[in-house]
Structure 1
Amino acid sequence: MMKMSIGQTIEIIYIDNAGKITQRKIEVMGIRNGRIRATCLSTGAPRVFLAANILAWQPVQERRYA
């Protein structure tokens, strides 16, 4: 199982408390007590996500150009 870490950019599928499912890229700023503090890369806004509400996640692969 993969482990997310601070400073990592990940893509998540998240269900909010109203039941809305969204997919977004975030940069993880902190992980504590089942909460993930992050910056949403779409809006640039700080957000807090409940780890239990993350349905799936994967690391974002950096594109490297030659």
Structure 2
Amino acid sequence: MKMGVGQIIEIVYLDKAGKISQRKIKIKDIRDGMIRATCLTTDAPRVFRIHNILAWQPAKNQRAG
């Protein structure tokens, strides 16, 4: 399965400080090794490096929020 714009996914992410977090995000754009998304936990825009996503799956509940 492939990630796509508009899709809501759950990710396990390693940030630049080495901290691992789990988030539910809605993908806005995928380009140049980056995913621009809205974090549904904080309702804030975020940018994630694809190579720092340790795991992902489609969200069980595809509705935002």
Same fold, TM-score > 0.5, yes or no:
yes
CA RMSD of aligned residues (A): 1.1
Structure 1 stretches of at least 4 aligned residues deviating more than 3 Å after TM superposition: none
- In structure 2, runs of 5+ residues without a counterpart are none
Count of matched residue pairs: 62
Correspondence 1:5 to 2:4: yes
C-alpha separation between the residues in 2 aligned to 1:62 and 1:13? 17
Deviation at 1:61, TM superposition (A): 2.5
**One-letter code of the match for 2:12?**
I
Deviation at 1:21, TM superposition (A): 0.0
Indicate the structure (1 or 2) with the bigger Cα radius of gyration. 1
Matches within 5 A, 1:6-45: 6-45=5-44
- In structure 1, runs of 5+ residues without a counterpart are none
Q: What is the TM-score with the length of structure 2 in the denominator?
A: 0.91
C-alpha separation between the residues in 1 aligned to 2:19 and 2:59? 23
Sequence identity (%) = 65
**One-letter code of the match for 1:58?**
Q
